[in-house]
Amino acid sequence: MRTVELLLDEAAELAVLDAWRRLADAGLPSQARHRSPTNRPHLTLAACPELTAPIRWELTEVAADLPLPVRFTGVIRFERPTSVLAWSLELDSALADLHRRVWEAVASDSPPETLSPFHSPEGWNPHITLGRTRRAGAFAGRRVPGLLPPPPLSVRLTTLRSYDTETGSLEVLEPRR
């Protein structure tokens, strides 16, 4: 499977890394414990079986529109198959448009059953994961917001990349020149 992700500007990435550290220091699930060399704060836009030539072509167009300013809106929790604690991003028209373009690119050349409904424009909730665990309710009832610094207000999404879950390799998706 190949993900399509956006990386944060340096200041925002440092703020997320600080939040990861604070959660880990408090003994809570944290992305700081994910030791992969490719692990860094990111916003997942979509995932597909492969980045075919038509998908890549469209993604180079999306990459040309970066950086994109966005705003964090606060802490959010998800209970899916995993418990997730994250900083939510405001879904303004620019971010919604960028996400829709990525989704349409991925959906245009992927079998529909391989696409996650969590990434569809109707189901997508933009967020930067701070902690995740398979333990249901791991963040419920905890004073998590008091542990975390407030998220930065001004953030820029700077780089489009893809992660290959089978090989563990990363690829930066550059704009067409």
Q: Which tens digit of pLDDT belongs to each residue from 9-22?
A: 999 999 999 999 99
Phi-psi region of 89 (alpha: psi -120 to 50; beta: other; left: phi over 0): beta
How far is 29 from 15, CA to CA, in rounded Å? 17
The mean pLDDT of 19-36, rounded to a whole number, is 90
Phi-psi region of 47 (alpha: psi -120 to 50; beta: other; left: phi over 0): beta
User: What is the tens place of the pLDDT at every residue in 58-70?
Assistant: 999 999 999 999 9
User: Whole-number mean pLDDT of the chain?
Assistant: 91
pLDDT for the residue 112 = 94
pLDDT for the residue 177 = 66
User: What is the tens place of the pLDDT at every residue in 110-169?
Assistant: 999 999 999 999 999 999 999 988 887 777 766 676 788 888 888 999 999 999 999 999
The mean pLDDT of 27-36, rounded to a whole number, is 88
- Which of 76, 8, 90, 85 minimizes the C-alpha distance to 41? 8
Domain covering 2-167 in this structure, CATH number: 3.90.1140.10
Burial class (CB in 10 A: 0-12, 13-18, 19+), 154: exposed
Predicted TM-score (pTM) of the model is 0.92
CB 74 within 8 A of CB 89: no
